[in-house]
Amino acid sequence: MSLPGAPAGHPLGTGRGGRRGPVAVVVGGGLAGTTAALALADAGLDVTLLEGRPRLGGLAFSFRRPSPVGELTVDNGQHVYLRCCTAYQWFLDRVGAVGLAPVQGRLDVPVLDAGGRPGRRLGRLRRTALPVPLHLAASLAAYPHLSLAERAQVGRAALALGRLDPADPALDGVDFAGWLRRHGQTPRAVEALWDLVGVATLNATARDASLGLAAMVFKTGLLSHPGAADIGWARTPLGELHHTLAREALEKAGVSCALRTKVTAVTRTAEGRWAVRTAAGPHAAEPLEAAAVVLAVPQREAHELLPEGALEDPDRLLRIGAAPILNIHVVYDRKVMRRPFFAAIGSPVQWVFDRTDASGLARLPGAGDSQYLALSQSAAHREIDLPAGELRARYLPELERLLPAARGAAVRDFFVTRERTATFAPTPGVGRLRPGAPTNAPGLYLAGAWTATGWPATMEGAVRSGLSAARTALTHLGRPHHDPFPASGRGSPKEAA
């Protein structure tokens, strides 16, 4: 399919309804690509989205799995967001999914210490409606997993962190663990607080995390607005949000969505447009042509597709490392956990979520009182390739230590999902490797959580990157557009009492 010649002075040609081809091609149907396609289509462009997988959603997806209790709908991993993740909330609203992934009324995280003394095993990180930083003062003062001296030092470090500018390039090359040591944080404080939050949001421990990204997470989430860190998560399978509803929204916006369509080359035409070739289908022989192309694929794939000269030092994309996430799924024959989720310390277990309802288990005829727990294990470099049997022997006893009701409960199913390249690694120095949306090739743009969003590799960062790529493309094309998140801002968390 070819794009007809554009009238002189008009890079877009005849526009919607009068063309034989797209004005913009988005390569990749994860959150970044879907967002870019929606934003471009909302601005009136003819858009085609090409995705190599048979589904949208990237690495935040669901699949069906036969189980001894019946067929389950399984998320590949537990994904959450915070109230300060305003771009992701925009995405949910745009695809009609806000009610399916609500945010808790107020931050409340149960923290279980597997080795804690009786009566002091459970602590809570929760907020009040008081202004920052007083909103966390009562919770920190009563937090049983730290000594009185450690709590005081945590408060002083938090205030010092709040004075940092996450956008300061000097912070990018500093490791977070060293900064914490210099500010009086003990190993126990790092485990029970800083890594408890940081590993889940950064996918790295403090020693492997850039101070700039860590400061961004803690300053935005805990020190910007009282409700910024309130937690939201999907009460339905992620595939319903990121594939089914997203595809419906794309189709309503007029986006042509081609799945199972892997892009193999992006090249310039003699007329200065872009030609996008795929491995199969009609575009393998005759490429799609467009005025703008957004590459919304992982950094290594982007490196393979970038034409010569599009980036200075394109090999820097290959120096952006990857970090794994391991997810362990357990179905018990009875209810063993009362809370929707909890975090753990003193144990290899990190975060545990109840997925009974979301997976469809509760509606299966033979389920009875069964409960489905999902363990999300971030920064799982040492365990990502361990056999399922070894992981079972390691984690089932840990769950029994944390959840007394699990002792004696029968395990009806146990399985593991692995994402070896779940996120980019937020190591010191990664900031200077992350490119922005524009490239040196006019009309070619980059999107993905790994690009220079200012955020770590989160769903929020992915959506922001898609909006940034669309914004840049529309500006260069001279198209008027509504921008929900100006380039200079990080978004403002909605206040919640």
Task: Tell me what percent of the residues of the chain surpass a pLDDT of 70.
Answer: 92
Task: Tell me what percent of the residues of the chain surpass a pLDDT of 90.
Answer: 88
pLDDT in tens, 73-104: 999 999 999 999 999 999 999 999 999 999 99
Distances (CA, A) of 218 to 25, 202, 249: 36, 11, 33
Which of 96, 116, 366 shows the shortest CA–CA distance to 252? 96
pLDDT in tens, 252-261: 999 999 999 9
Q: What is the mean pLDDT of residues 464-468?
A: 98
Residue 349 confidence (pLDDT): 98
pLDDT at 489 over 60: no
pLDDT in tens, 196-232: 999 999 999 999 999 999 999 999 999 999 999 999 9
Q: Are 139 and 192 in contact (CB under 8 A)?
A: no
Handedness of CA 261, 267, 271, 272 (dihedral sign): positive
pLDDT at 21 over 60: no
Q: Are 2 and 8 in contact (CB under 8 A)?
A: no
pLDDT in tens, 360-419: 999 999 899 999 999 999 999 999 999 999 999 999 999 999 999 999 999 999 999 999
Determine which helix (DSSP H) or strand (DSSP E) holds 249, and give its type and residue range: helix 246-252
pLDDT at 2 over 60: no
Strand partners, 62: 75
Cα(233)–Cα(229) distance, integer angstroms? 12
Does the pTM surpass 0.95? The reply is no
pLDDT in tens, 38-76: 999 999 999 999 999 999 999 999 999 999 999 999 999
pLDDT at 19 over 60: no
Average of per-residue pLDDT values in the chain: 92
Residue 22 confidence (pLDDT): 62
Helices (H), 223-346: 238-239, 246-252, 282-285, 299-305
